[in-house]
């Protein structure tokens, strides 16, 4: 799966970092090797997935992240129902019980065939429950992802869904070539935002890094910081073999 993720820079990285540590239980400090305060900035990142052209669903990103098969089916169905409800201006769907009893960060992706048309997510939760996190990511995807402007209720009903769960916070690396894109995610942060690829999204680390620079509008590779992260995902492709 190819897609990239953009997040705007914080208005005040120092204040933002302290707020994050007091608000979100997954971020008690900078991740190991993250280079001090930059870890706090990454921990509080809100990631807009502005998706690239094609989607490759890698088996390394399709592990079941602590949910039974029925729960996975309920979660992807809930995500699709949230999208459909927003596009139809109808009431929000009732979330499955497994999404109301935990707080968890995630990325939510919708795709048609091999093309992604709406994505949003983050490395740490911004809402009290997973259900609220999923719903908020979908709201922000429709608001911020330009590809979602052509989405319709009919598109949503036919869409494939993937929910990706980052495992902890990104860890800074000295060289992007140290990242195995089949098993690890890559996050590239510049002065004006960041671009991320979840595990299995990029065929090579070199392609991901160059694409991130292009998306960031950054010509100097030395001007960005690179991080690796781990993630698990559930998807309609892995569950029911369609789309």
Q: Is the pTM of this model over 0.85?
A: no
pLDDT in tens, 9-47: 333 332 222 222 212 222 222 333 333 344 444 444 444
Q: Average pLDDT for residues 40-55, to the nearest whole number?
A: 41
CB contact at 8 A, 167 and 232: yes
pLDDT of 235 > 60? The answer is yes
Task: Tell me the pLDDT band of 55, cut-offs 50, 70 and 90.
Answer: very low
Asked if 133 contacts 125 with a C-beta cutoff of 8 angstroms, the reply is: yes
The CA-based dihedral angle spanning residues 122, 35, 230, 105, taken in that order and rounded to the nearest 10 degrees: -20
Domain boundaries, the chain: 4-240
- pLDDT value of position 73: 95
Comparing 68 with 65, the larger pLDDT belongs to 68
Is residue 159 within 8 A of residue 235, CB to CB? The reply is: no
Q: Looking at residue 15, what is its pLDDT?
A: 26
The CATH number for 4-240, chosen from 3.50.50.60, 3.30.110.40, 3.30.700.20, 1.10.10.10, is 3.30.700.20
How many Cα neighbours within 13 Å face the side chain of 218?
21
Residue 96 in this model has a pLDDT that exceeds 50: yes
């Amino acid at each position: 799966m190819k897609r990239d993720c953009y997040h705007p820079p914080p208005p005040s990285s120092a204040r933002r970092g302290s707020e994050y540590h007091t608000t979100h239980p997954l971020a008690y400090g900078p991740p190991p090797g993250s280079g001090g305060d930059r870890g706090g900035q990454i921990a509080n990142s809100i990631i807009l997935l502005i998706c690239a052209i094609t989607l490759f669903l890698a088996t390394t990103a399709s592990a079941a992240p602590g949910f039974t098969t029925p729960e996975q089916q309920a979660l992807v169905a809930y995500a699709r129902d949230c999208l459909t409800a927003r596009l139809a201006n109808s009431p929000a769907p009732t979330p499955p019980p497994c999404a109301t009893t935990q707080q968890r960060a995630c990325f939510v992706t919708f795709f048609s065939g091999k093309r992604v048309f709406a994505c949003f997510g983050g490395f740490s939760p911004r809402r009290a429950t997973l259900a609220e996190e999923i719903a908020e990511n979908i709201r922000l995807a429709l608001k911020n992802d330009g590809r979602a402007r052509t989405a319709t209720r009919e598109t949503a009903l036919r869409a494939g869904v993937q929910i990706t769960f980052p495992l902890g916070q990104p860890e800074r690396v000295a060289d992007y070539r140290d990242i195995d894109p089949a098993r690890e995610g890559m996050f590239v942060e510049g002065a004006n935002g960041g671009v991320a690829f979840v595990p299995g999204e990029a065929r090579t680390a070199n392609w991901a890094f160059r694409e991130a620079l292009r998306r960031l509008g950054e010509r100097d590779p030395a001007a960005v910081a690179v991080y690796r992260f781990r993630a698990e995902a559930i998807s309609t492709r892995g569950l029911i073999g369609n789309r």
